[in-house]
Amino acid sequence: MFDKSTWIKLPRNVLQGHGVLDDLADAVAELYLSGNPLLVTSPTPERIAGDRIRAQFDGISSVSLDRASFESVERVVEIAREKDVGYLIALGGGKPIDVAKMASDHLDCGFVSVPTAASHDGIVSGRSSIPEGDTRHSVAADPPLAVVADTELLAEAPWELTTAGCADIISNYTAVKDWELAHRLKNVEYSEYAGALSQMTAEMLVGSADSIKPGLEESAWIVTKALVSSGVAMSIAGSSRPASGAEHLFSHQLDRIAPGSALHGHQVGVGSILTEYFHSGARGEWMDIRDALSTMGAPTTADELGIDDETVIEALTTAHEIRDRYTILGDGVSEDAAIEAATITGVI
């Protein structure tokens, strides 16, 4: 008997372009949601676009969060219940979007994603990534019902946020390699479609490198398209595997050891140089990854991340412990091997 089945959840409306923030209410009206919204945001995005969103909805409430944590998720759930809201609008970078995504899952209501930075590929994905103690949960949640990515707003964000988004996409190269490896060695379920989409997204972004420059709205357009595509790959896979391998474990570990030092995308980019070295050796493709990152203005060294060499080595040797996800790191990289990899690749 044929017994395979799959359920792919994707957003219904994806709006991308100049000034589309002012179409948010129209995009929401098309979703036939009921009740008032709760705006879930963080301090900077609130300042930049909070009023423009509130102006479009009667009866909207707001909550501004300082960090992504289970506590923040609980706070949003509590406020949403208290105000009896019908759905959530997430406005900001990866943190408020992840929190709203998880809270909407707990509340069994929809949410709409309004990124203010093209800094990460969680804009569209059906995964929520929240740190807790010594670990990091990548939790299955529903993807947003709609995504409203205003390229005018995204282009005005600090350029480093956009280069972080580029690096999050470039890291798909090693994430897919890790996924294939886990499939071959551990029989982890692998989706050819999701793997190919994720890899193609990285290739297309690197192919457009010459058009990705500060001050050009076109750059925000190209990067956001890639972030959407990468998020769709995660939705097809039903896991963050197509976009998160050992380079993400390294970054999550840096978040624990040296919180707030660098942006997520920048950390995974440097992680990708290191893990590509483990995949393909000294003369391997790590140089291509480094060069692509450097062309887009993303960091390629510990120094550029603002993280000291010892911390990088500690994160690399302990990254395999953060989550039960098989990668090229296997059951751990020795300190000598980590120092050699980081030295040969010029990361330290």
Ligand X SMILES: NC(=O)C1=CN([C@@H]2O[C@H](COP(=O)(O)OP(=O)(O)OC[C@H]3O[C@@H](n4cnc5c(N)ncnc54)[C@H](OP(=O)(O)O)[C@@H]3O)[C@@H](O)[C@H]2O)C=CC1
Ligand Y SMILES: O=C(CO)COP(=O)(O)O
Binding annotation: 94-98, 116-119, 121, 125, 168, 248, 252, 264
Does 121 sit near ligand X (CB under 6 A)?
yes
User: Which residues are CB-neighbours of 125 under 8 A, at least 6 positions away?
Assistant: 143, 230, 231, 234, 235, 240, 243
> 233 or 341, CB closer to ligand X?
233
- Distance (Å, whole) CA 212 – CA 297: 9
The CB-of-256 to Zn ion minimum distance in angstroms stands at 16
Establish if 100 lies at the interface with ligand X (CB under 6 A): no
* Residue 95 contacts ligand X per CB under 6 A: yes
Binding of ligand X at residue 330 (CB under 6 A)?
no
- Concatenating the DSSP letter of every residue in 182-250 gives HHHHH-----HHHHHHHHHHHHHHHHTGGG--TT-HHHHHHHHHHHHHHHHHHHHHTSSGGG-SHHHHH
Which of 139/339 has CB closer to ligand Y?
139
Q: Looking at 138, 191, 199, 201, which residue binds ligand Y (CB under 6 A)?
A: 138
Q: How many CA atoms lie within 13 A of 226 on its CB side?
A: 33
42 lines the binding site for ligand X (CB under 6 A): yes
Which parts of 234-293 interact with ligand Y (CB under 6 A)?
240, 243-244, 248
Q: Closest approach of Cβ 109 to ligand Y, in Å?
A: 23
Interaction between residue 168 and Zn ion (CB under 5 A): yes
- State which residue, 101 or 290, has the beta carbon closest to ligand Y: 101
- How distant is the alpha carbon of residue 222 from its chain centre? 16
Shortest CB 302 distance to ligand X, Å? 19
Q: Which of 253, 237, 242, 230 is nearest to 323 (CA)?
A: 253
Among 107, 111, 127, 292, binds ligand X (CB under 6 A): 127
Inter-CA distances, 127 with 138, 141, 193, 321, Å: 6, 5, 18, 20
Pairing mode, if any, of strands 87-92 and 110-115?
parallel
Known binding residues for glycerol? 121, 168, 248, 264
Chain residues 160-189 in contact with ligand Y, contact rule CB under 6 A: 168
Identity of the residue, 103 or 243, whose beta carbon is nearer to ligand Y in the bound complex: 243
Q: Using the minimum distance from each CB to Zn ion, give the nearer residue, 139 or 339.
A: 139
Euclidean distance between CA atoms 62 and 55, whole angstroms: 12
Q: Which residue is nearest to ligand X (CB)?
A: 94
Cβ proximity to ligand X, 121 vs 178, nearer residue: 121
Near ligand X by CB under 6 A: residue from 38, 76, 90, 98? 98
Instruction: Write phi, then psi, for 43 (nearest 5 degrees).
Output: -55, -50
Task: Please tell me the distance from the alpha carbon of residue 106 to that of residue 22, in angstroms, as a whole number.
Answer: 29
User: Are the CB atoms for 237 and 191 separated by under 8 Å?
Assistant: yes
Q: Which residues bind ligand Y (CB under 6 A)?
A: 121, 127, 129, 138, 168, 240, 243-244, 248
